[in-house]
Structure 1
Amino acid sequence: MTHASRSGSTDHRLPLHARIKDDLLRRVQSGEWPTDVPLPPEAELASSYDSSVGTMRRVLSELTAEGMLLRQQGRGTFVRRASFENSLFRFFRVQGDAEVQPASRILDRTTEPAGPQQAEALGIKTGSDVLRIQRLRLWGERPFLSERIWLPLPEFREVAMASETELAPLLYPAYERLAGVSVGRASEELSVAEADEPLAELLQVAAGSPLVRITRIATTHAGDIVEYRESFGPADTFRYRVEIN
């Protein structure tokens, strides 16, 4: 029996390629394939759905165009891994350090009860256990971004127990390795804040200095909330540019 015929949620009034696409999307969202494991070859997938290779190629091309899949020449087709880790570097720049690669340093990891703001963002009850990670981003030795990251427990218990080496240099691949959770999407919101004493010390600015605050909610491809993050950077290093046509 094919995958398409097993899918109870597929509308059989749809064209074949649409039914296959719906079912394949469901399988991607369910985490059937880790981001480092290729999907089966086109011919094998086509056979499993009793379809032509051309139809399967169309489905894979559409899912790739929609950002769900990544096709790599000579390697195969993979579930797309989110690349949001470095997205904040679009906004913050340290003058004169263009040749220096950004680095990160985990300052603290703590289990704590979720406050109302974190609970609402993560879709959990206030007071539920969460893992809070404090991280500093640097250009060379100069700090330019302070991050506070909240993850629900017990889903991310292995992240709480891992060594800093296991979490470096990027967190999202570590979530995959340690917790089996893949980030697929994120939404961000920008606002303005003032540096309190702890943030001023971390970012090496005067207390009360203007900061740009970026909040992020990250989800899986299926839309399950994975992470809530607050990032703070000095306003004088912030740049925003958009092309309007």
Structure 2
Amino acid sequence: MSALNMPRADGRLPLYARLRDQLASRIANGEWSPGDMIPSENRLAEEYGVALATMRMGLKQLVDEGLLERRRGTGTFVKQPAFRADLFRFFHVHDVEDPDGPVIPESRILTRQEVDLPPEVKRAFGDDAGTRCLKLERVRLWAGDPLLFEEIFLRLPDFDGLMSLDPKEMGPLLYPVFLQEFGILISSATDELSFGTATSASAKHLALPADSPVAVIERVARNPVGRVIEYRRVHGRPERFRYRVTLGEQPT
């Protein structure tokens, strides 16, 4: 494959950036799955008809972005995604028996239905959004207490089969389900934090009085080529909210 004729490549980008996009597409399309070793730099450079240094620059971008990892003496691999309950970093929860361990909350899916695309979801999904999407409502609990209420919007027809999955077998995290059941890898997400007022649904499921203040998180999640896969709106109990940021270098 000639690099100058790579499909869907934006000719305005530097060649190494176009290579990065094409390699990311092969990950997104499932040609290389998490944990797979990809072909060597030499082989890829030959396949695309580019200089070895150019291919190395394209691969380095994917390594820097966390899509690939280099293993000394072995090769370059598609990085295994670290599925965690990242939204819980905004809330004060910890396991008494393992305070430094990962926070994995309980998850209960309340509803699943096909709906018209809300305007904010259509904006996030972009021009190829279509007119309908799959909407999930879910509550997240910690030690039996409701902490987050989530509205999750997913593309159709990408997730057509999700309606038939048994919620009890889906586990507490959705992204592993996306990968295992639908071959869709979530590689990045942007969370926007604000504060607002509970809706009737979030007040009910968070056991809050009507019109209570809530922490609001809006998430846009993307696959390796930057296509938006999920839009999520989260309401959280405000008394458990926390925000911590470190500025400057840490002492060693």
Q: Is the Cα–Cα contact under 8 Å of residues 107 and 135 in structure 1 kept in the other structure?
A: yes
- Matched residue, 2:240: 237
Answering whether residue 39 of structure 2 is matched by residue 40 of structure 1, we say yes
Code of the residue aligned with 1:108 in structure 2: it is T
Match of 1:94?
Answer: 93
C-alpha distance in 2, partners of 1:202/1:72? 46
Match status 1:130 vs 2:129: no
Q: What's the CA shift for 1:178? A: 2.5
**Identical-residue share of aligned pairs (%):** 35
Within the candidate set 144, 149, 153, 2:147 is matched to: 144
AA of the residue aligned to 1:138: L
Matched-pair contact (CA < 8 Å) for 1:118–1:150: yes
Alignment partner for residue 105 of structure 1, among 98, 108, 111?
Answer: 108
Specify the alignment match of 1:120 in structure 2: 123
CA distance in 2, matches of 1:101, 1:42: 38
1:156 aligns with 2:159: yes
Tell me what 2:194 maps to.
191
> Which structure 1 segments of 5+ residues have no match?
none
Amino acid at match of 2:142: W
Gaps (5+ residues) in structure 2? none
Aligned to 2:68: 69
Which segment drifts farther, 47-56 or 141-150?
47-56
> Which residue of structure 1 aligns with residue 24 of structure 2?
28
Q: Deviations over 1:50-89 (max 9, x none)?
A: 7898876665344312333133568753334554752111
Alpha-carbon distance in 2 for matches of 1:158, 1:128: 18
Question: SS state of the match for residue 136, structure 1?
Answer: strand
User: Take 1:10 and 1:124, find their aligned partners in 2: how far apart are those partners?
Assistant: 18
Contact 1:4 1:23 in 2 (8 A): yes
- Provide the C-alpha distance between the structure 1 equivalents of 2:61 and 2:130, rounded to a whole number of angstroms: 42
Say if 1:4 and 1:119 are closer, same or farther in 2 by CA, change over 3 A. Answer: closer
Over 3 Å counting, the alpha-carbon distance change for 1:85 and 1:112 in structure 2 is: farther
In structure 2, C-alpha distance between the alignment counterparts of 1:41 and 1:126, rounded to whole Å: 36
- Secondary structure, counterpart of 2:85 in structure 1: helix
Paired with 1:140 and 1:155, the residues of 2 have a C-alpha distance of: 33
Distance 1:119 1:65 in 2: 30
Shift of 1:213: 0.5
Q: Is the deviation greater in 68-77 or in 204-213?
A: 68-77
Native 8 Å contact 2:24 2:62 kept in 1? no
Matches within 5 A, 1:152-231: 152-231=155-234
- 1:184 deviates by 2.1
Cα displacement string for residues 126-153 of structure 1 (whole angstroms, at most 9, x for unaligned residues): 9822111111112121221111100121
SS at match of 1:160: helix
- TM-score (structure 2 length as normaliser): 0.77
CA distance in 2: counterparts of 1:60 and 1:239, whole angstroms: 37
